[in-house]
Structure 1
Amino acid sequence: MKHLITLVLVALLYQLSNAQVDTTDYQRAEKFLSTNLSKKYYTYWVSPHWDKDQNILWYSNYTSKGTEYVKVNMKTLQKEELFDHVEFAKQLSEQTDTEVSPYSLPVWIKGINEDGLIKYSYKKKNYTYDNTTNTITEVDTPDKNPRNYSQSPNKKITLLISDYNVWLKKDEQDSVQITTDGTQKNGYGVTPSWMSVKNIEDEGDHLLDMDINWSPNNRFAIIGRYNRTNARNLYLYKSLPEKGNRAEVYSYERPLAGDSLTATIEYYLFDAESNSIKSMDFEPITTFLTYGFRWDTKGNKAYYMKYKRGYQSMDITEVNMLDLSKRTIYTESASTYVDPMTSVFKLLDDGSFLFVSEKDGWNHIYRYSTQTGELLNQITKGEYVVRSIEHVDTKSKTIYFTAGGKEKDTDPYLPMLYSVKFNGQSVKLLTPEKAEHSISIWADKNVFVDNFSTIQEPNIAVLRSLKDGRVLKTLEQGDASEIIKMGWQAPEPFKAKGRDGKTDIYGVIYKPANFDPSKKYAIIEGTYSGPQTIRAPKSFRRGLLNDDTPLAQLGFVLINIDGMGSAYRSKAFHDVSYKNLGDIGGPDKIVVMKELAQKYSWMDTTRVGIFGHSAGGYDAARALLAYPEFYKVGVAAAGNHDHRAAKAWWPELYMGYPAGANYDEQSNYYNADKLQGHLMLIHGDMDQNVNTASSMRFAAELIKANKDFELLIIPGKDHSSTYYDKYVIRKRWDYFVRYLMGVEPPKNYKIK
C-alpha cells in the first residue's frame, strides 16, 4: 500500500507540471545518444603524427563528408590533403574489387616512408601508395609479432618464452635454451593478461602478456618471473555458450582486496655478453605493487619503483647491472596513501630525477639527486595541482607540465600547459584560454598541438610555439552546428559551497528538452565519485557525448557534481574519501542540489534519482542506502558493492590494507536493510572487471532484508559492453520515467 501511495503522489506531482512521456520523447532521446551525436560533431580533434623526414605533421580529420587525411608543411605551415583521396579511392576500388568512397577508406593509414610514399594496411597486408603516379605496391608483411618474444633495441638479440622458459636467439644462430626450471605456476617472462578469461574445460593457459625490459645499450634485459602458486581464481557463468546447450564456466586470476596470499613477481637479469640469466635478489612482491624499471641512458643502471600493500609507502631503488648492487634513493610515506595515480617518476640524463608528489598538500614537482637521493629543490609550489609532465628539455633545463587551479577565477579542473626552469623560476603559461587543454609536443621543432575546449565551446586545435605558446596556425575548429539545430543545449557549469560552507564544489547542469522555467523537473545525478577521477565533464566532447544528454531529452534535469574525496584538488580534499568511499561525496552533493534548487525553482529536490556504472554503480546503490531521505531512485550498473569483491589494488589504495571494519561499514551488502527507494541492479554475466557475483550477493542481501528491487543480468556482456548495451540504456530510461515521473514509459521501445 505504501508503495502504491508513493507512486500515486509522484504521478500527481509530475502531471501538475509536465506532459506525458511517449514514443516521440524516446525517439528524440535516441537521437541524442553518443553513438548518434558523434556522427554529427565534425573536425572535433587533431591527433598529430610527426614526420621528421618529410618535415610535416599529419592527422585524420572527421568531416561532414567523411574522414580526410591532412598534412601541414612545417616550413610553410600550409595545409593540404595528405594524398589525393579521389584517386586513392579509385585505385583501392580496383585493388579490392569493391566500390570505395574517397572519405571512407577501408584501410589503416600508417604514415609516410622515406621515399614519400603513403604506408597503409588492408586485411593484414601492407602496401604503399604513390601519390604522384597513383600506384599501389604490396610490400613485405612481416609475421605479426607473437606474444612470446622480445627483441633488443637494435633487433640483433631475441629472447623467446617457450613453455615458461627463456630461449635466446642471436642473429641467424639457432635458439638456445637459457632456463629450464620455469613452470606454469612459476614461469619466466609471462603473466596472465589482466582481462583474459578462460573456459575451465579448455586445455592450456590464459592469454599471456610479456614482461621483458631491455636496456638501451642492448646488453641487459630484466625478466619478470611470476609465481602464481597462490593466485586465486574468480569465475563467470556464461549462459550463452559458443555452441550446444550447456552453459560454460570461465575463470581468471585476480587478487581481491585483503587477500593475504597473492601471485608474486621476482626479477631476473639476462646478460647478452655472457648469455646468462641470474636472480636480481629482489624480495618477491605482490604483482600489482610494482611499477617497473627505468633505465639510465648508458643502460648499466635501472631504477625500480614499488609500493607496499596499502600504498602508505613507496620507494625507488637503484640497481647496478654490473654487480647487482642496490640502494634506495627515494622513499615517500603518508598517513593516508601515496597515490600512484598522481605520482610521476621521471629519470633525467643530468644525474637527477623528478618526482611528482602530494606531500606538501598539493601535487607538485620535486627534483632530486640520483647520486645521493638528496632533494635539490621543489620546482612547483602553491595551491594548485600538477596534472602531468609533458616534456623535459635537459639542455635548456626546462620542464613542460600541465596544471589546474593556478590561474585565479578559473575552474581548477581545467589543465593548462606551463613551462618552468629546473630551479623553479621563469614559470610561463603557454595556453592562456580558460579551457581544458590536451597537449602533443614535437620537441625537435619546438612546437605543440593544443586541442582545447569548454563544455559549451567546441574544440579548437592549434599549432603553438613551445617557446611562448604563440599560436602559429589554427588547424581545425569543431563544428556542432547540426547538433545545435537539433535543439541541443550545452550543459551549464556551476560553482557552489560544499558541506563545510567554505570549499568550492564544481559541477554541471543539463536542462531538460523544451525547458520551461515555470515547471518543476525531477533531478537525476550521474555519478562516479572517483577517487581517481571526476565525473563532471570539462571538454565539449565529454559534455556532449555521455549518458546524461539523452536523459535530459526525456524531461529530466541532469546534474554532475564532484564532491570532496574526488581527484585533482588538494591532498586534504582528496583524503576525505580515504577509508571512506561510502561517503561518495554525498554531503556535498545534497547541500549543492538544495542550494541550486533555491536559486532555480524548476529543480525539484523531492524527486532525485541517481545512476552510475562500475564504481559509479556502487555510488548509485550507496546513495539510496546512506542518504535515503534525499535519493529516491537509483540504477546501479556493474557495481562493486563490497570493496573486497573488487580488484585488489584500487580498494587497498583508497580503503586501506588489511581490510578492516571500514570495509563492512561501507559495504552495500551489510547495509541492504537500509534500502527505502527504488533500486535497479544491472550486471553482465561475463564481467571480468567487477565480477557478476558482486551484484548477485547484494541481491541476496536485499532479498534477506525483504526489500523490493529489480535485478537485470545481461547474458554475454562484459564490463564495458554492458555500459553501451542498448537494452540497458532503455531500461534505465524506463526506470526513471516510471519512478521519478510517475508515468508508464512506452512499452518495449527498441533503440535502433
Structure 2
Amino acid sequence: MKSTPYILIFMLFVSSYNLFAQGELKDYQEAEKWLWKNIESKIYKSNIYPNWIGKGDSLWYSTKTRKGQEFFLVDIKNKKQEELFDHQKMSEALSTYTGTELKAYELKLKQLKLKNQSKLEFALDTFLLSVDLKTYNVSKREKEKKYRSQELLSPNKEKIAFIKDYNLFLKSGDEEKQLTTDGNAELSYGTSISWYFVKNESQNQKMEYEIDAYWSPDSRYLICAKYNRKHTQKLFMYKSTPKEGFRAEVYSYERPIAGDKDLTRVSYVVFDTQTGKTIDCDLPENATFLEYGFQWKSNTRAYTLRYYRGYQKRELIELDVATGKSRSIVSETADTYVDPNMHIYKVNKESDDVIWTSEKDGWHHLYRYSYESASLKNQITKGEFVVREICKVDYKKKKIYFRANGKEEGDPYYTYLYSINFDGSGMKLLSPENAFHSCRISPNGKYIFDNYSRVDLPDRFVIRSAKSGKRVMDIAETDIQDILKMGWKAPEMYSVKGRDNETDIYGVIYRPFNLDATKTYPVLDGTYSGPQTIRTPKTFRRGLINMDVPMAQIGFVVVTVDGMGSAFRSKKFHDVSYKNLGDIGAPDHIKAIKDLAKKYPYMDIENVGIYGHSAGGYDATHALLAHPDFYKVGVSSAGNHDHRSAKAWWPELYMGFPAGKHYDEQSNFFMADKLEGKLLLVHGNMDNNVNPAASIRMADELIKANKDFELILLPGKDHGTCYYDTYFIRKRWDFFVNYLMHKHAPKEFKIN
C-alpha cells in the first residue's frame, strides 16, 4: 500500500508524456523546414501561366525546373513542346552584351514579349533588349514613354488629360488648355487616391493623386470624376522607427470606416474636347468606395456599375455623355445584400446582350439582359451550384465558357469549366477531373489551358479542346519529390454535418508527420470567417502556403472549418453571417472538431486553441470571449475587434448600414470582461488595412476589465508583413506550446 503514491505519480507522468510529447526544440526545427519560404525552392514546375501567341494555336511559359528557370514554347497544333530559345546561346549573347556573366538557367528576364516567334523583347536589370532568336543578335530597345499617374493618354494618342492644382488640363501637341478653374482641396477634379496610399504628415508629404477619368473610344469626350472632400476623415499611424533620427513619424490616409456619415464622395463631369463644352451628369454624388468607374458601349454611351450604402442595391447604369443623362439598364435589390464579391457582368460593343450574374434565385447564376430595352431576356444557368467566373463570351456563337462549383459530386468547392449557350441549352462539362480547376481560353476560342489540383494532388497543366473538353496534350506536372523525401504527407479532406445536423460542412486536418496515434494532441482551429471567402485550401499550392503545416509539426492537430455564413455555397448558407459576423461559424467549428475527435481519439478536445489574422484575428479573440468552455488559448493578429474599426465596405456589406446596436453586441470591445482563456494580441503598427488602433483599444478594454493578456506591436509592419514576420511566427508557436501544451517553449528559437 505504501507504494501507491509512487505508482500514482508514475501514472500521472506517463499520462502527461502521452498528452504533451511535442513542442520541443526538434519539433521547432522540423516546423521551420515547412515554412513556405523554406520549401518553395524544393518544388518544381509550379505556377505555370500561358502566354498565348497570336490567335492561340501556340503559347509560351516559364517555370522553375531542376535545371533552373526554363522558358518553353508549346505548339498546340502539332502537339510539340520545346525550349522557347537555346538557353546557353541566350546566356552567352546576353553576357557579352551586358559585360556580366549570366548562367543559362538563371536568366531573370522580365516583361517578355514574343513577336512572330522570331524576336523576343524583355527587360534585364536596367536593360531593355530585343533578341533575334535565329541569330541571337542582341539590340537595345527604346524605352517606351511612361505617363505619370496624374496623366491619361487619349486612344488616338494625340491628347493627354492631366491634373494640376486640383484642376483638369488638356495637352495636345505643344498646346495646353485648362478645362476647369474651380478645383480646390475640397472640390477637386480627377483626384483619386490609391487605397494603399499613406501620407507622411511629419515630412509634409504631398498627396499622390491618380487621375480618375475616361476617354471615349474616338478621343472626343472625357468623363472626369469630381471629388468632394469637404467632410473627408482620416486614419493615423505612428511610425516609431524612422529611417533617421529619433522622432517618431505620423502617417495618415483617407479611409471611411463602417457607419461614417462624413466621407469622401464623387460625382462626374463630361468634357467635349471638340467643342469645349462642359456637360454635367445627372448621377448624384456617391461614396467613393461604391463606385466602379466607366467603360464604353459606343463613342457617346458609357456605362458604370454602382452600389449604395448597405449594399442592398446595385445598378448597371448608362450615361449619355452628349447630354449628361443616365438610365438604369439592370437594377437589383435584396433584403440582405447584393454581393459585389459574387458578381460578374459582360457588356459587348457590338451586341445587345448583357451577361449578368445574380443570386436572386438563391444560387449565383448567369442571366441575359437586353442592353437597349433594359429587360431580362432569360436566365442562362439554373440549379444548386455557384457560377464563379466567366472565362470567355463568344458573342458570334452565342456561347459562354464559365467556371462553377457545386454541380459535380464530391467537394462542392471544386471549380470546373463548362460551356453553355446563351439560351441556357447545351451545358457541357469541359474539365471532368475531381479537383479544383483554373482555366484560360485561347483568343481564338479553340483551346483551354487547364491547371487542376487538390491539397493531395500536385498541379497538372493540360491543353484541352474548348469544344469537347478532350485533352489535346499534357504540359507539365508539379514535381514534389524533394518534399516527399522530407516526409511530407497530404492533409486529410473531411466532411461532417453542421450545426443543423443536415448541412455538409467541409475542411481539412493537418497532422504532425510523425503522428503517434497512441498519444493525444492539442487541437488548433485555424480560422478566417470573413464571408467573402473560405479558409480551407482547395489547391495543392494553397495547401502548402500557409502556417498550418509548420504549426502541426510543433505537435498540434490543426483543423480548418468552413462553417455556415462563408462563401461559395447557396445564398441561404451565405446569409447566416448577415448582421451576424459574431457567429464566426463557431457552432459549426465546435461540432466539426468534436465529431472528428470521435473518429480520431488522439485529438484532445479539452485543449483547443484558435488562431487567425485580420477577420480571423477578430474570430480568435471572439471565440475566447463567446465560447470560453471550448476555446482555451487564442492568438489574434491584426484583428478588427469592432467592425467599425475596419474599412467601410467590408462591414457595411455584411453588417449593414447604418451601424446599429448589433455592431455593439458583436464587438469584442464590449465583451472584454468575458475573457477566461489565454490571449495574445498582435498587430503591425503600420497596418493601413486594419488600423492598429483596433488591437490597442482591445487591449485598453481588457485592462479596464482587469484581464490578463499579452500584446505585441510589431514596429514598421503592415497587414501582410505582420503575418509573415518570423518573430511573430515563433511567438505564436511559443504561446500555444506554453499554454495549450503546458510545456516550456525552447527559449528564443531563431527562425531562418
State the TM bucket, normalised to the shorter chain. over 0.9
Q: CA deviation at 1:162?
A: 1.8
Alignment partner of 1:492 is 2:492: yes
Residue identity matched to 2:435: A
Alignment partner of 1:555 is 2:555: yes
2:29 corresponds to which residue?
Answer: 27
1:207 corresponds to which residue?
Answer: 208
Q: CA deviation at 1:56?
A: 2.9
Q: Is the 8 A contact 2:312 2:338 kept in 1?
A: yes
2:541 corresponds to which residue?
Answer: 541
Q: How does 1:180-191 map to 2 (within 5 A)?
A: 180-191=181-192
Residue identity matched to 1:286: A
Q: Is the 8 A contact 2:282 2:325 kept in 1?
A: no
Bigger mean CA offset, 71-80 vs 337-346: 71-80
1:700 corresponds to which residue?
Answer: 700
2:219 corresponds to which residue?
Answer: 218
Q: How does 1:575-590 map to 2 (within 5 A)?
A: 575-590=575-590
1:6 corresponds to which residue?
Answer: none
Q: Is the 8 A contact 1:10 1:740 kept in 2?
A: no
Q: CA deviation at 1:204?
A: 4.8
Bigger mean CA offset, 593-602 vs 298-307: 298-307
Q: CA deviation at 1:294?
A: 2.9
Q: CA deviation at 1:114?
A: 4.8
Q: CA deviation at 1:733?
A: 0.8
Would the alpha carbon gap of residues 434 and 182 (structure 1) be closer, same or farther in structure 2, given more than 3 Å must change? same
Q: What RMSD, in angstroms, separates the aligned Cα atoms of the two structures?
A: 1.7
Q: How does 1:405-424 map to 2 (within 5 A)?
A: 405-407=406-408, 409-424=409-424
Rounded to whole Å, the distance in 1 between the matches of 2:742 and 2:15 is 8
Aligned to 1:250, the other structure's residue is in SS state strand
Rounded to whole Å, the distance in 2 between the matches of 1:591 and 1:190 is 50
What whole-Å deviation, never above 9, does each CA across 1:431-473 have from its counterpart, x for those lacking one? 1111111111113151121100011000001111111111111
2:367 corresponds to which residue?
Answer: 366
1:672 corresponds to which residue?
Answer: 672
Bigger mean CA offset, 606-615 vs 115-124: 115-124
Q: CA deviation at 1:63?
A: 1.2
Residue identity matched to 2:675: L
Q: How does 1:284-683 map to 2 (within 5 A)?
A: 284-296=285-297, 298-348=298-348, 349-407=350-408, 409-683=409-683
Q: Is the 8 A contact 1:37 1:545 kept in 2?
A: no
Rounded to whole Å, the distance in 2 between the matches of 1:257 and 1:116 is 55
Q: CA deviation at 1:275?
A: 4.0
2:7 corresponds to which residue?
Answer: none
Alignment partner of 1:17 is 2:15: no
1:4 corresponds to which residue?
Answer: none
Q: Is the 8 A contact 1:639 1:690 kept in 2?
A: yes
Q: Is the 8 A contact 2:162 2:211 kept in 1?
A: no
Rounded to whole Å, the distance in 2 between the matches of 1:134 and 1:461 is 30
Residue identity matched to 1:468: S
What whole-Å deviation, never above 9, does each CA across 1:613-655 have from its counterpart, x for those lacking one? 1111111111111111111111111110100000000000000
Would the alpha carbon gap of residues 246 and 203 (structure 1) be closer, same or farther in structure 2, given more than 3 Å must change? closer
Aligned to 2:464, the other structure's residue is in SS state strand
Q: In the alignment, which of 81, 90, 94 is matched to residue 92 of structure 2?
A: 90
Using the aligned pairs only, state the percent identity: 49
Q: Is the 8 A contact 2:233 2:255 kept in 1?
A: yes
Q: CA deviation at 1:115?
A: 7.6
Alignment partner of 1:237 is 2:238: yes
Bigger mean CA offset, 83-92 vs 604-613: 83-92
Q: CA deviation at 1:12?
A: 8.3
Rounded to whole Å, the distance in 2 between the matches of 1:692 and 1:547 is 22
Rounded to whole Å, the distance in 2 between the matches of 1:84 and 1:581 is 56
Q: CA deviation at 1:10?
A: 12
Q: CA deviation at 1:656?
A: 0.6
Q: In the alignment, which of 161, 164, 167 is matched to residue 162 of structure 1?
A: 164
Rounded to whole Å, the distance in 1 between the matches of 2:71 and 2:610 is 42
Q: CA deviation at 1:55?
A: 5.4
Would the alpha carbon gap of residues 81 and 253 (structure 1) be closer, same or farther in structure 2, given more than 3 Å must change? same
Aligned to 2:597, the other structure's residue is in SS state helix
Q: CA deviation at 1:185?
A: 2.5
Residue identity matched to 1:131: L
Residue identity matched to 1:178: L
Residue identity matched to 2:519: K
Q: CA deviation at 1:54?
A: 9.2
Q: Is the 8 A contact 1:398 1:420 kept in 2?
A: yes
Rounded to whole Å, the distance in 2 between the matches of 1:444 and 1:365 is 23
Q: CA deviation at 1:210?
A: 2.5
1:265 corresponds to which residue?
Answer: 266
What whole-Å deviation, never above 9, does each CA across 1:224-270 have from its counterpart, x for those lacking one? 11112211011000010121011111111110100011100111112
Aligned to 2:617, the other structure's residue is in SS state helix
What whole-Å deviation, never above 9, does each CA across 1:479-508 have from its counterpart, x for those lacking one? 111111111110110010000000000000
1:227 corresponds to which residue?
Answer: 228
Would the alpha carbon gap of residues 379 and 177 (structure 1) be closer, same or farther in structure 2, given more than 3 Å must change? same
What whole-Å deviation, never above 9, does each CA across 1:557-615 have from its counterpart, x for those lacking one? 01110000000000010000000001000001101111111111111111111111111
What whole-Å deviation, never above 9, does each CA across 1:16-60 have from its counterpart, x for those lacking one? 334353222111111100111111111123211112079531111
Rounded to whole Å, the distance in 2 between the matches of 1:243 and 1:97 is 36
Q: CA deviation at 1:14?
A: 4.4
Rounded to whole Å, the distance in 1 between the matches of 2:149 and 2:12 is 58
1:66 corresponds to which residue?
Answer: 68
Q: CA deviation at 1:116?
A: 2.4
Alignment partner of 1:105 is 2:136: no
Q: CA deviation at 1:678?
A: 0.7
Q: CA deviation at 1:215?
A: 2.5
2:5 corresponds to which residue?
Answer: none
Q: Is the 8 A contact 2:525 2:560 kept in 1?
A: yes
Q: Is the 8 A contact 1:71 1:80 kept in 2?
A: yes
- Structure 1 length as normaliser, TM-score? 0.96
What whole-Å deviation, never above 9, does each CA across 1:56-101 have from its counterpart, x for those lacking one? 3111111122211111124323111111212222233333333322
Q: In the alignment, which of 29, 43, 46 is matched to residue 44 of structure 1?
A: 46
Aligned to 1:341, the other structure's residue is in SS state helix
Rounded to whole Å, the distance in 2 between the matches of 1:516 and 1:474 is 39
Residue identity matched to 1:179: T
Count of aligned pairs between the two proteins: 741
Would the alpha carbon gap of residues 509 and 387 (structure 1) be closer, same or farther in structure 2, given more than 3 Å must change? same
Rounded to whole Å, the distance in 2 between the matches of 1:59 and 1:652 is 41
Q: Is the 8 A contact 2:638 2:695 kept in 1?
A: yes
Q: Is the 8 A contact 2:118 2:134 kept in 1?
A: no
Q: Is the 8 A contact 1:53 1:114 kept in 2?
A: no
Q: Is the 8 A contact 1:56 1:72 kept in 2?
A: yes
Q: Is the 8 A contact 1:490 1:544 kept in 2?
A: no
Bigger mean CA offset, 442-451 vs 244-253: 442-451
Rounded to whole Å, the distance in 2 between the matches of 1:11 and 1:201 is 59
Rounded to whole Å, the distance in 2 between the matches of 1:213 and 1:161 is 13
What whole-Å deviation, never above 9, does each CA across 1:374-410 have from its counterpart, x for those lacking one? 1111111111111111111011100111111111x22
Bigger mean CA offset, 453-462 vs 341-350: 341-350
Aligned to 1:326, the other structure's residue is in SS state strand
Rounded to whole Å, the distance in 2 between the matches of 1:180 and 1:690 is 37
Q: Is the 8 A contact 1:645 1:690 kept in 2?
A: yes
2:3 corresponds to which residue?
Answer: none
Rounded to whole Å, the distance in 1 between the matches of 2:76 and 2:601 is 54
Q: CA deviation at 1:745?
A: 1.1
Q: Which runs of 5+ in 2 are unaligned?
A: 1-10
What whole-Å deviation, never above 9, does each CA across 1:166-216 have from its counterpart, x for those lacking one? 22123x342222112222322211212111111113335322223122223
Runs of 4+ in 1 over 4 A off after TM superposition: 9-14
Aligned to 1:495, the other structure's residue is in SS state strand
